[in-house]
């Protein structure tokens, strides 16, 4: 509601009405809409609406509403339709990204439980690489916020600011999101093809003599890096106070990381993780799976999907390696390739009153396959055995119960969620 005050209520009424009239008259034609309703809302001084929602961080089945809204003053009936477009545009992406991130989290937790002795590493195993490929800064920020509900690794720095501004987070007191020092292809290119080994050496001994540093390793020949340059630097890497993370960035992610028995060379057959094991070793953990020496690791951040993530974890498991030997950079290939239809995100009017008489309203197009059929009347959402379900055509008394709780009423925020609370719900 901050923007409503900044751009509407706190501005002179004549300026607000003038701007609205100019836009709508030029859009629909002079005097087809009028401005009295805008003036009336400005005079009121607040948004006369109620928003109800389930607790943020909870998962809701498709076709069960996560929130509802209605106006509290009959003369402002028009606000609900105005808010429909605003909310749909703002909310579907972070909800979709948060849902997908939670699926990554469940997958990575599962394989870590089966193969690794470092379950806490999963906090960093899904890393947000999406910002450069998103549909603008706002999309990157809202999607990046959804990612950070399940993970702490991110390169979408403005998402951290978003969570501090709107979700009571404080990076001075808690870890919201973090990353590590990392190179780009331009850095490696400047070192020249012939000087790539020296570039690696300079990075790990002079530029970043301690801590974690991720070095993109496929600018020219990934296999040469793994088979020649890193073995030549083995002693420096193993005695360094920190971890060198190798970053391949092209090819089939599953084959590059895990190897392919049909590969043309030994390197292609083995893949990155096994080649690192051959060079640097590690330990066989209590579950019987290999964990790389803590001075070396790998990350892959190109074209990762949940399907590929599962294939990577499963193939590593079959080869005897812990899933936590690899970090996955989850990019715009995951977070931008979605629409509001990915999870059927739609808003429908289900109830209205005319002259004090309630009307149950719904849509059910005869030409549709049932997807667009909406609920009817007032709604109640309840959580039974851990799963939310919808009951429609209820009374106002029944609507007041259930798990949809008022979070906003008549200009006042009633429930102000924190990042830490939401993260706890995500991991349940």
**How many domains does one find in the chain?**
3
User: CB–CB of 128/159 below 8 Å?
Assistant: yes
Specify whether 185 is located in the same domain as 248.
yes
Residue 415 pLDDT > 80: yes
CA distances from 64 to 54, 97, 391, 403 (A): 11, 18, 9, 12
Could you tell me the pTM of the whole model?
A: 0.94
Domain span at residue 421 reads 44-93+344-426
Model pLDDT for residues 173-209, shown as the tens digit of each residue: 999 999 999 998 898 898 888 999 999 999 999 999 9
CATH number at residue 125: 3.20.20.70
**Separation of alpha carbons 324 and 328, rounded Å:** 10
Extract the runs of DSSP E, i.e. beta strands, from 252-295: 282-284, 290-292
| Alpha carbon distance 83, 80 (integer Å) | 5
Q: Which of 283, 315, 335 is the last residue of a domain?
A: 335
How much is the pLDDT for 58?
94
The reply to whether 168 and 71 lie within a common domain is no
55 and 138 housed in the same domain: no
User: Which tokens is 90 given?
Assistant: 């703002």
Are residues 193 and 61 both part of a single domain?
A: no
**309 lies in the same domain as 369:** no
Q: Are residues 330 and 402 in the same domain?
A: no
The token pair at 292 is: 């790389």
Q: Identify whether residues 290 and 400 lie together within a single domain.
A: no
Is the domain of 50 the same as that of 154? no
Say if residue 120 is in the same domain as residue 178.
yes
Domain holding 420: CATH number?
A: 3.20.140.10
Lowest mean pLDDT among 20-29, 186-195, 321-330, 336-345: 186-195
Confidence class for position 371, pLDDT limits 50, 70, 90? confident
Q: Tokens 């429609």 map to which residue?
A: 392
Same-domain check for residues 149 and 36: no
């Amino acid at each position: 509601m901050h923007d409503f005050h900044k751009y509407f209520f706190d501005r002179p009424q004549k300026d607000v009405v003038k701007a609205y009239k100019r836009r709508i008259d030029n859009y629909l034609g002079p005097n087809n809409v009028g401005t009295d309703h805008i003036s009336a809302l400005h005079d009121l001084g607040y948004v006369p609406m109620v928003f109800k929602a389930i607790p943020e961080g909870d998962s809701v089945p498709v076709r069960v509403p996560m929130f509802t809204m209605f106006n509290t003053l009959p003369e402002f009936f028009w606000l609900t339709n105005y808010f429909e477009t605003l909310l749909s545009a703002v909310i579907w992406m972070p909800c979709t990204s948060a849902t997908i991130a939670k699926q990554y989290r469940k997958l990575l937790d599962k394989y870590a439980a089966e193969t690794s002795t470092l379950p806490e590493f999963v906090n960093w195993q899904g890393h947000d690489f999406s910002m450069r490929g998103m549909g603008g800064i706002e999309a990157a920020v809202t999607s990046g916020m959804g990612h950070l509900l399940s993970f702490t690794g991110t390169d979408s720095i403005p998402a951290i600011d978003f969570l501090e501004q709107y979700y009571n987070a404080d990076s001075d007191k808690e870890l919201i999101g973090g990353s590590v020092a990392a190179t780009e292809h331009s850095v490696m290119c400047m070192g020249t093809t012939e000087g790539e080994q020296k570039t690696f050496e300079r990075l790990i001994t002079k530029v970043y003599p301690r801590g974690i540093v991720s070095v993109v390793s496929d600018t020219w020949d990934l296999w040469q890096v793994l088979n020649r340059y890193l073995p030549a630097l083995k002693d420096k890497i193993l005695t360094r106070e920190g971890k060198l993370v190798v970053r391949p960035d092209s090819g089939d992610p599953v084959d590059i990381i895990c190897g392919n028995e049909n590969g043309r060379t030994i390197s292609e057959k083995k893949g990155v993780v096994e080649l690192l094991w051959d060079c640097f070793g590690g330990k066989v953990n209590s579950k019987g799976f290999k964990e790389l020496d803590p001075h070396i690791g790998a990350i892959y951040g190109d074209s990762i999907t949940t399907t590929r993530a599962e294939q990577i974890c499963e193939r590593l498991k079959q080869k005897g390696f812990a899933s936590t030997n690899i970090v996955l950079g989850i990019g715009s290939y995951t977070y931008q390739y979605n629409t509001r239809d990915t999870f059927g995100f739609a808003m429908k009017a289900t109830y209205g009153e005319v002259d004090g008489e309630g009307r149950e309203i719904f849509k059910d197009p005869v030409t549709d396959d049932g997807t667009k059929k909406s609920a009817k009347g007032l709604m109640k959402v309840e959580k039974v055995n851990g799963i939310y379900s919808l009951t429609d055509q209820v009374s106002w008394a029944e609507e007041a119960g259930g798990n949809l709780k008022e979070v906003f009423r008549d200009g006042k925020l009633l429930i102000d969620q924190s990042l830490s609370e939401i993260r706890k719900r995500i991991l349940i």
